[in-house]
Amino acid sequence: MASFSREALEQRRDSGRTLPFDVAIRCSRQPADRPLRRPRFVFGLKELSGALGDLGTFLPHVLGAITVAGLSPAGVFVSFGLFYLASGAAYGIPVGVQPMKAASAAVLIQGMTPAEVSAGALIIGFFFLVAGATGLVSMLARVTPPWTTAGIQLGLGASLAWLGLKLAWSQPLLSAIVAGAMGLLLFNRRVPAALVGLALGVGLAFALGINKGIPEVDWGLYLPRGVVPRPHDFLRAAYVAVLPQVPLTLTNAIIVTAALARRYFPKEEHHVTVRNLSLSTGIVNMLAAPLGGYMMCHGAGGLAGHYRFGARTGGAAVIIGAAFLSLGLFLGSGGMALLALIPTAAVGSLLLFSGFELAASSRVWRFPRWAVGLALGVATLSFGFNPAVGFGAGLAAGWALRRWCPAIMVSMAQAEEERAYICSRDGGPQFQAS
């Protein structure tokens, strides 16, 4: 593992080995005209392990939607692959790309056709493109109290961990082995925990007879099939998928993801802002919809999963994006069959540790006692009902505090802003990469 300490980055800068698209690092002790820069992409075992960290969210939703709705595997995998590649290149950190969960529930429970899925992606894409371009999403982020964001993050982390436990319980013996191995390996920075855990899970699934054999795949060139939705497709998609999905995307995929990126990478100029996340979500969904793609967004759980299993740069997003793109273009439905070899136990284990990471990174204890109570209330609503419910309650509580106790909110906002720009104690960045 290479260590990009302050000294290493200074040597890299002074030797002229930096590239124009490298990620700048902000620190008060470095010259403003000669900023330190770290590589935008690093490729190694830890980045590979981190690239696999969000498969726990991807596999159940996407494989189920392809099967139930009859979506084209090529269109779905290609759209996810391109979105991941674009995210890695644009942001330089392991920003996740996930299927939209409320929309996936509509696909699996209500039943949606490929044309309705395409229509839903177009509506959602247009909404977030407009919200980002007009500044609406930035305004909502500004009026959202920090303890509301932390509470939603804690609730989402608990939800992911609970879902992981439920999936793991379906194969308890295999889950205990895989989760135990992952948990031990996470303490060793040199070992790719997700990669080893998935390989162990697949191998044991064959040994225990869960996987009956390697599926036959037909190599070839599988191009996405175009989908043209009709007016009635837009109406049904708006009702069953878009309306429940928009609040969830606004909270989890945009506001909480931007906050988590600031928490994980406080000194790096990665441009993961609520405005940019809204714009990228909107643009990619509108481009993917005609190709038979799926409704996609970023996600705090995805970023937490990639980070927890070792990813630190855009290299992880490029790795998983290239893998999805290759599966879609060259294997088609065979790619789906290969991914189905990953047992539920391994999927649940990934979700479990991703959920723990997301919940722990909320750090609700850093707030005053009154704000901790409010954050826990928001987390409870997010876990028990929906992050949108917690978001609405947090906004209402924040409005009441601004109305009746404005001094409290002003002091908290100032403390959060100062905390966001604090450099490490030794005055330099500490960046670990494979």
Count of residues for the chain?
A: 434
What pLDDT, on the 0 to 100 scale, is given for residue 433? 44
pLDDT digits (tens, 9 = 90+) for 61-102: 898 888 888 899 999 999 999 999 999 999 999 999 999 988
Which is more confidently placed, 126 or 413? 126
**Is 208 within a domain?**
yes
Q: Is the pLDDT of residue 415 over 80?
A: no
For residue 426, CA distances in Å to 5, 6, 8, 421, 423 come to 10, 9, 14, 14, 8
**Is 333 within a domain?**
yes
Question: CA 70, CA 292: separation in Å to the nearest integer?
Answer: 10
**3-class secondary-structure state, position 39:** coil
Question: CA 13, CA 326: separation in Å to the nearest integer?
Answer: 35
For residues 164-180, one letter each, b for 16 or more C-beta atoms within 10 angstroms of the residue's C-beta and e for the rest, the string is bbebbeebeebbebbbe
pLDDT digits (tens, 9 = 90+) for 161-195: 999 999 999 899 999 999 999 999 988 878 889 99
pTM of the complete model beyond 0.75: yes
Overall domain count for the chain: 1
Residue whose C-alpha is closest to residue 54's, from 101, 121, 105: 101
**Is 150 within a domain?**
yes
**Is 402 within a domain?**
no
**How many CB atoms are located within 10 Å of the residue 424 CB?**
12
**Is 30 within a domain?**
no
| For the chain, percent of residues with pLDDT exceeding 70 | 87
Q: Is 92 left (phi over 0), alpha (psi -120 to 50) or beta?
A: left
**Is 388 within a domain?**
no
Give the residue carrying structure tokens 């960045």: 429
**How many CB atoms are located within 10 Å of the residue 28 CB?**
9
Indicate the average pLDDT of the chain. 86
Which residue range is the domain that position 294 belongs to?
45-360
**Is 153 within a domain?**
yes
Question: CA 311, CA 189: separation in Å to the nearest integer?
Answer: 11
For residues 304-341, one letter each, b for 16 or more C-beta atoms within 10 angstroms of the residue's C-beta and e for the rest, the string is bbbbbbbbbbbbbbbbbbebbbebbbbbbbbbbbebeb
pLDDT digits (tens, 9 = 90+) for 290-345: 999 999 999 999 999 999 999 999 999 999 999 999 999 999 888 888 998 999 99
What pLDDT, on the 0 to 100 scale, is given for residue 101? 86
φ and ψ at 362, to 5 degrees? -70, -35
**Is 409 within a domain?**
no
